[in-house]
Amino acid sequence: MNMQPSQSPPPFPFDLEDSAAYEAWCEWKLKDYPTRLGDLVVEIGDPAALTGAEHDALLQRVRKTNMALYASARGNDPDKGLIRALGRRFGLERLDHNMCADDDAITSLRVQPDALHQGYIPYSNRPIAWHTDGYYNDLEHQILGLLLHCVQPAARGGANELLDHEILYMQLRDLDPEYIRALMHPRAMTIPANVVDGEELRPARTGPVFMRLPGGQLHMRYTDRSRSIEWRDDPLTREAVAELKRLLRTRSPYHFEGTLQSGQGLVSNNVLHTRSGFEDDESRPRILYRARYFDRIGGT
């Protein structure tokens, strides 16, 4: 697909009191919105040295959908520097040094049964339900940008579903704006403390599901887990969460699904995503690099 440059979205469309701005944004958002996974893909040469045309093609897709996919000629090159260089081209600098990340703050996602990683699903071959990354971070350290790069896919499985969180916001707001009000409440969702062997590794984190960033953009923190989560105990929040979960499970033209192959990757403003379970080839185990940022992609 040759995606044409799109105009900038109308400003501040996420104010529940400004219906005109919201309606103008909806018209802009849905016009020429991609409906096939292939529409999100840009063929590139080297992720660490994007050409101007490659950069612009990826950025155009991110501006519209908060995500883009690339297919590069780097194959199964294990150089982690390429994902760092790719992030910098989009203004992504502030990496999240999360607990299980490598020393350079870029995480090697592979099956790791050791004591540090045991119990954390991303380091197993089990499926992962809908979520945004870093939903358990404090509100001052939200993950706004997310890159994934595939070095080696699994022998079987390991597919991702992707959904633009702005589309989900639109669907919920069109059902009932009060759902958005409930999910923007500062105590809407609490992730309990992470306690291992009596030691608190992370305190409980409470905050909204949807929030407006200082620049007016929309950010979402969410996990579809049913245990180790506490929702604000009121009827409207329960109804809003039920509708949110229903929409996530209802296939639509805005749900994308695919499996990253060697040299392919995702550039995103931390959209909603899943991962199916997988089976490894012992001689060539699945490995993806993940970079989480406190920055959004520049120009979005």
Domains of the chain: 24-293 (3.60.130.10)
Q: Which of these, 165, 52, 265, lies nearest to 60 by C-alpha position?
A: 52
pLDDT at 1: 46
Two structure tokens written together for 50: 């994007």
CA–CA distance, 201 with 81 (Å, rounded to integer): 29
pLDDT at 110: 92
3-class SS letters over the chain: CCCCCCCCCCCCCCCCCCHHHHHHHHHHHHCCCCCCHHHHEEECCCCCCCCHHHHHHHHHHHHHHCEEEEECCCCCCCCCHHHHHHHHHCCCCCECCCCCCCCCCCEEECCCCCCCCCCCHHHCCCCEEEECCCCCCCHHHCCCEEEEEEEECCCEECCEEEECHHHHHHHHHHHCHHHHHHHCCCCCEEECCEEECCEEEECCEEECCEEECCCCCEEECCECCCCCCEECCCHHHHHHHHHHHHHHHCCCCCCEEECCCCCEEEEECCCEEEECCEECECCECCEEEEEEECCCCCCC
Two structure tokens written together for 39: 């529409």
pTM beyond 0.85: the answer is yes
Two structure tokens written together for 84: 């760092």
CA–CA distance, 294 with 253 (Å, rounded to integer): 29
Please, what are the averages of pLDDT over each run of 10 residues along the chain (300 residues)? 58 90 96 96 97 98 98 90 96 90 87 63 91 96 98 96 98 98 98 88 95 95 92 97 98 97 98 97 94 94
pLDDT at 242: 98
Two structure tokens written together for 212: 């407006």
CB 16 within 8 A of CB 185: no
Whose structure tokens read 């959209």?
271
